[in-house]
Chains A and B, each alone.
Chain A
Amino acid sequence: MNTQTTSIDPAVIDTEHRSMWTDVWRQFRKHKGALVGVFVFAFIVIAVFVGPPIHGVDPNAIDFRARNLGPEWAHPLGTDNIGHDTLAQMLAGGQVSLAVGLSAALIALILGTLIGVLAGFVKSLDGPLMRLTDVFLSLPLLPLLLVSIMLFRDTLRAAFGPETGIFLLIVGLIGVTSWMHTARIVRGDVLSIKEREFVTAAYSIGTRRYRIVFRHILPNILSPIMVSATLGIANAIITESALSFLGLGFPPDFPTWGRLLYDGTNFIQITPSRVIWPGVFIALTVLSVNYIGDGLRDALDPRLRGR
């Protein structure tokens, strides 16, 4: 028996037209963790994009006399062994790391969702696509990266310039090599959602297949997608750092959090602030994104809304 949900007499409230997004926002605001997440994330984004002009130090400027300094007035987070200002590098690095994390996760997400939905929804594609997933899962990442950098770097550099080119390459590579788990999860969910009666109902009124996917299936697999997105961002930020230290990443004068953390690790006993801050900011980003993801997932579920 369907238990009656707490029925507030519908006639009593809401005569005004509610927009879905106001609802989502209203529910989202109720999620304390998500709210804190938004503030932290917004703080990071603002700091990273507004901070540099305020701080006013070129991250690549070198002050040879000021090497390996601890925090002081001119260098609030100290300097590194070359004489870069750590704060300036942190801020510049944040721009790159955030951009890489978000866009690579987005690519992985789109690919994973696309492949997952196709495999789950189109029966004849299921086998081939799942085998493709197996293939990607077992590919050796490093050689693959070497190959793609060899094949695409110069073309991209010519087309977009050295920095954007390598950015696109890295983002693309991370995205292309990390969609597999999302695809599997999505496929599983699609398989079960497509057996639900509201999908049959949509068929019965003659809804076209692609609309069934967009209208009925996708919205109902949002929560696993959200979770993979969160993990994806963390994964992309970390993977980027691994690429940097293998010489496959950004040019060396292009700081990123991952790289700062990696380079700084050797100096942990000399200038601890070089590692602490990138570490803290990576963790904070991941945490805040995770909580935002949780909040969004709840807010997007109308069943939890209004609670």
Chain B
Amino acid sequence: AERGRDGELRLLYWQAPSTMMPYLSGGTKELEASSVVIEPLARYDNDGKMHPWLAEEIPTVANGGVSEDLKSITWKIKPGIKWSDGSELTSADAVFTYEYCSHPDTGCTSSNYFNDIVSVDALDPHTIQINFTVAKPFPYAPFVGYNAPIMQKAQFDGCIGAKAQECTEQNFYPIGTGPFKVVDFKPNDVIVFEANELYREEGQPAFSKLLFKGGGDATSAARSVLETSEMHYAWNLQVEPEILTKMAEAGKGTIIAGFGTSVERLMGNFTNPDPDLGDDRAEYLGGNNNRNPHPFLSDYAVRRALSLAIDRQILVDAGYGSAGKVGCNVLPAPAIYASNANDECKTQNVDEANRILDEAGWVRGSDGVREKNGVRLSILYQTSTNSVRQGTQAFIKEMWKAIGVETELRNLSASVFFGGDPGSPDTYQKFYADIEMYTNNFSGTDPETYMANWTCKQVSRRANTWGGGNMPRWCNPDYDALSAEMSTTADLDDRIRLAKAMNDMLMQDYAMIPLVHRGGVSAFSNVIEGPRGNEWDSELWNIAEWHLR
């Protein structure tokens, strides 16, 4: 088949990309857009399996690509790969990419992918060696996945450090090795790509032109694929399932969901968010012994009852449909890591929840709200603004009402809630509330750093300007020990065992309450074939293979 035979492919990303330079944005939309142009050495498929991309094969200890001490990894680039300007891809480009991103003034958003690196060396034009300061049981962060692709040295040479910001032309029109090249870039609006004539695969891509439109909202994005067929593909359609189902009735498109590690969860605050505490508000005081406990969430019984009272299936049905599964684990994927020790949560058990609370001495007051020693079970429950989340909030409020818990709902603009501005009281990191809800996940397939989020060191607090990943301020030395062990364990089975143990520890102490294992929803028109949905890497990872039906 001939390259470009299928004409124009029209994609709709209602959140529009603002730049084509993934290292300067880090937003998913920018990563997705740039993934059709610049590529990494290896990529994940929709099952989270790693495939060599620009590299010939995945280096492992077994094939000698990873050193025994786990301190270095050596990649071999496929020969003959050309940049779209005709020059050849060499290991110097990879070295440059590392220098670019690790330069302190660049403001590289993926710099954590290049952590603990001593050096990146070009052993020969096609061999790259990465040397780490510490043993890396999972050495596949640099140059793997859409977060860390290889950029062209020749183009970006003058753009390192502070200069990176000013290289508008380069940032908007990066030269890549991927199936498409940028023709026209309008930030936050539209990108026009055309097929890369020098793409390495014969007859790919099938489309000669790629229109990458942005703007609008999720509902109308779905409509444009499912109802009017103006677009071939629409991304990130987090809307109520019945709307999508209704639209899909027109029979013009298909809805797909890719599942990754995203879990919508409730975080309980283990510290006291009472505003009267001043600087100590929601502040974790004291090492292993929490000296500022939450008035009621520090009670295990309450946490457990709150979890038991929730009917997660309703949340899935009303808010997610096929894009969600009842979630009982914070680490639901990859499948090998998924625990089934916590399946109790799959069914709602209001009676049990009530019993637990009664037993713990929380008695219902005249207004039906439980109380103990003058402490009312009255929860301030915050999340970001989003109609599905508000629906979930409404359900949970009602469910908690059944066990005598009163809930005040609050929704905050996403840019504030996730903004992390140390001056704002409304960030999820500061957590000036009792319960908060959001989704978290990790990229790639290795849970080590993700699970390290709930160690004591990571507690989000004033001292680290609320920079830690441990929002619940939950601290357990046993957990810290497991986490430390995992960071030095290379054997996969041991790693699985440790990860599961950590997950179970979190779940069984109700350090957080998982609700829904979420998938990324997208829709594609029935006239095309190829989209497979991918939560581990770019949704467009296989765009070279997409074609008209």
Which stretch, A36-44, A115-123, A243-251, touches the partner chain B?
A: A243-251
A150 to B415: give the CA distance in the assembly, Å: 13
B246, B394, B410: the one within 8 Å of A82 (CB): B394
A194 at the interface (CB under 8 A from B): no
Which stretch, A20-28, A61-69, A102-110, touches the partner chain B?
A: A61-69
B285 at the interface (CB under 8 A from A): no
A267 to B243: give the CA distance in the assembly, Å: 7
Q: Are B394 and A60 in touch, CB under 8 angstroms? A: yes
Chain B minimum-CB-distance residue to A267: B243
B residues in contact with A158, CB < 8 Å: 275
Q: Are B425 and A154 in touch, CB under 8 angstroms? A: yes
What number of B residues sit within 8 Å (CB to CB) of A?
32
A269 at the interface (CB under 8 A from B): yes
B343 at the interface (CB under 8 A from A): no
Interchain nearest-CB distance for A97 vs B (Å): 18
A69 to B240: give the CA distance in the assembly, Å: 15
A253 at the interface (CB under 8 A from B): yes
Q: Are B424 and A247 in touch, CB under 8 angstroms? A: no
Given known A-B contacts A60-B398, A266-B240, A269-B246, A82 and B416 have beta carbons under 8 A apart: no
A68, A81, A246, A270: the one within 8 Å of B391 (CB): A81
Q: Are B394 and A253 in touch, CB under 8 angstroms? A: yes
A154 to B426: give the CA distance in the assembly, Å: 10
B314 at the interface (CB under 8 A from A): yes
Q: Are B384 and A247 in touch, CB under 8 angstroms? A: yes
Q: Are B240 and A81 in touch, CB under 8 angstroms? A: yes
Q: Are A270 and B393 in touch, CB under 8 angstroms? A: no
B387 at the interface (CB under 8 A from A): yes
Q: Are B425 and A270 in touch, CB under 8 angstroms? A: no
A263 at the interface (CB under 8 A from B): yes
B residues in contact with A253, CB < 8 Å: 393-394, 397, 409
A154, A247, A267: the one within 8 Å of B385 (CB): A247
A140 at the interface (CB under 8 A from B): no
B residues in contact with A61, CB < 8 Å: 398
A306 at the interface (CB under 8 A from B): no
B219, B318, B413, B426: the one within 8 Å of A67 (CB): B318
A residues in contact with B314, CB < 8 Å: 64
The 0/1 profile, CB within 8 Å of B marked 1, for residues 138-161 of chain A is 000000001000100010001000
Chain A minimum-CB-distance residue to B424: A150
A56 at the interface (CB under 8 A from B): no
A162 to B411: give the CA distance in the assembly, Å: 13
A146 to B414: give the CA distance in the assembly, Å: 12
Residue of A154, A263, A267 with highest tally of chain B CB at under 10 A: A267
The 0/1 profile, CB within 8 Å of B marked 1, for residues 240-260 of chain A is 000001111001110000000
B408 at the interface (CB under 8 A from A): yes
Interchain nearest-CB distance for A264 vs B (Å): 11
Q: Are A266 and B219 in touch, CB under 8 angstroms? A: yes
Given known A-B contacts A62-B398, A245-B385, A270-B243, A252 and B411 have beta carbons under 8 A apart: yes
Interchain nearest-CB distance for B218 vs A (Å): 9
Q: Are B410 and A251 in touch, CB under 8 angstroms? A: yes
A residues in contact with B408, CB < 8 Å: 162, 251
Q: Are B219 and A247 in touch, CB under 8 angstroms? A: no
Given known A-B contacts A62-B395, A266-B239, A248 and B425 have beta carbons under 8 A apart: no
Chain A minimum-CB-distance residue to B388: A81
Known: A253-B393, A270-B242. 7 other contacts (CB 8 A): A60-B397, A64-B318, A162-B408, A251-B409, A252-B409, A253-B397, A253-B409
Query: What 5 A-B pairs come out closest when comparing CB atoms?
Result: A247-B385, A252-B390, A247-B413, A251-B409, A62-B398
Pairs across A and B, CB under 8 Å, 15 listed: A60-B398, A62-B395, A64-B318, A64-B395, A81-B391, A154-B425, A246-B385, A247-B416, A251-B411, A252-B394, A252-B409, A252-B411, A253-B394, A266-B240, A267-B243
